Homo-oligomer: A and B are copies of this chain.
Amino acid sequence: MAEKVRLASVGLGRWARVQARGAQRGDVIELASCFSRDEAKRSAFQQEFNIPKAASTWEELLADKDIEGIILTTPNDTHRTLIEQALQAGKPVYTDKPIAATMQDAASILKTAQSTLVPFAVGHSSRRLSGHRQQKKWIEDGTLGPVSLAQANFSNERGLELTPDTWRWYADKSPGGAYIQLGVHHADTLQYLMGPVKSVTAHARKLYTKSEVPDAIMSILEFESGALGYLGTGWASPGVYTLSLQGTKANLFYDLDFTHWDDAHEVDNFSSLLSQEYGESSRSTVKLPLTDMFKEQLEEFALATRGQAKIEVGAVEAVRALAVIDAALLSNKRNGAAVEIAEVLDTVGVVL
């Protein structure tokens, strides 16, 4: 076994813990340092995950030759500055999704990643779920036939529980609310399965959350293939995570119990993929081999810092996912008129 890849956790909240547990489930990564501006958080995190050291400043971490890459889980609106400083210092970065809170920030990060050529990965973990890997296989081997409708929903109760002391409360830090926090997962996974989105039509409403952001968002995606997609997200109900595909030869219904989301190594056991073939009334259960989306993506990133793996979801894929969110919010402002992805990319000078 080669020496473990030494990564540092940055932004030490709840999600950093989920990711740290994912990293420590494997034997590829050593959490070798950590950083948060809050010293108490640093020590607590260091102790909890048995990390040998903590950086006392961000600059100290970037200068640490011992650290091979960063796992970033800070608020979305801080991504751009931190990611760009790290990449420019030659430190590979894995960041939680979305790539940024705005298309301007995302475009800038894309440019920096492309000019520095330093490894950069974005945590669109959900496409790695066993159910979605199977859906991809059924599309590629022709078992589904051409797909005309793809339907996805990702919702939970977060909007009912938000308080003003969390960044997700605010429209400037988390524009789109449930749609950018939850929907962006499906925005990536749907494009992974169906190819690029061409245009987006959407309505967003703030119904039951007290925060500044919408808690009910529905969108229709037109794919470049001509197929239609639906992406719905809510923040005012119990958790829902579904993605169904309707092909000429078969349908596939994927349903995951969101309450197990944080335990990526077990979540496949709490999800189901049912198939229904043309002319058949009954549905069959598709076997889902156990995966571990958080561990897998972090290990892929870790190995990529040494040139030993290819990053599946980098800046380009993450910009495509965020572009769907941005187009949807623009469509909502235009009373549902379809917004071309090309328009939102043009606005920030991105050509993919």
Contact status A218-B331, CB under 8 Å = no
Contact indicator per residue, chain A 262-303, by CB within 8 Å of chain B (1) or not (0): 000000001000001111111000000000000000000000
Q: Which of A56-64, A68-76, A116-124, A202-210 contacts B (4 or more CB under 8 A)?
A: A202-210
A208 CB to nearest B CB, Å: 6
Report B-chain residues with C-beta under 8 Å of the C-beta of A151. 151, 153, 232
Report B-chain residues with C-beta under 8 Å of the C-beta of A282. 257
Residue on B with the closest CB to A201? B336
| Also in contact, A149 and B232, with CB within 8 A (given A246-B237, A257-B281, A278-B238) | yes
- A114 close to chain B: CB less than 8 A: no
Contact indicator per residue, chain A 140-172, by CB within 8 Å of chain B (1) or not (0): 000000101101010101001000000000000
Complex formed: what's the CA distance from A277 to B259 in Å? 12
- A236 close to chain B: CB less than 8 A: yes
Report B-chain residues with C-beta under 8 Å of the C-beta of A228. 203, 205, 216-218, 232
Contact status B149-A279, CB under 8 Å = no
**CB contact between A248 and one of B218, B232, B236, B251 (< 8 Å): that residue:** B236
- A215 close to chain B: CB less than 8 A: yes
Contact status B238-A250, CB under 8 Å = yes
Residue on B with the closest CB to A204? B228
**CB contact between A279 and one of B217, B234, B238, B338 (< 8 Å): that residue:** B238
- A84 close to chain B: CB less than 8 A: no
| Also in contact, A335 and B338, with CB within 8 A (given A220-B218, A232-B149, A237-B246) | yes
**CB contact between A149 and one of B155, B202, B239, B281 (< 8 Å): that residue:** B155
Chain multiplicity (copies): 2
Complex formed: what's the CA distance from A257 to B280 in Å? 10
Contact status B238-A251, CB under 8 Å = yes
| Residue picked from A222, A247, A270, A338, most chain B C-beta under 10 Å | A338
A243 CB to nearest B CB, Å: 13
Complex formed: what's the CA distance from A282 to B255 in Å? 12
Contact status B338-A203, CB under 8 Å = yes
Report B-chain residues with C-beta under 8 Å of the C-beta of A250. 237-238
Residue on B with the closest CB to A246? B237
- A334 close to chain B: CB less than 8 A: yes
Complex formed: what's the CA distance from A202 to B151 in Å? 15
**CB contact between A234 and one of B148, B205, B234 (< 8 Å): that residue:** B148
28 contacts between A and B (CB under 8 A): A146-B236, A148-B208, A148-B215, A149-B155, A149-B216, A149-B237, A151-B151, A157-B248, A201-B203, A201-B220, A203-B220, A203-B222, A203-B338, A205-B222, A205-B227, A220-B220, A230-B232, A237-B251, A238-B246, A238-B280, A240-B244, A240-B246, A257-B282, A259-B281, A331-B336, A334-B337, A335-B338, A336-B337
> Residues of A with Cβ closer than 8 Å to B?
146, 148-149, 151, 153, 155, 157, 160, 199, 201-203, 205, 207-208, 215-220, 222, 226-230, 232, 234, 236-240, 244, 246-248, 250-251, 257, 259-260, 270, 276-282, 331, 334-338
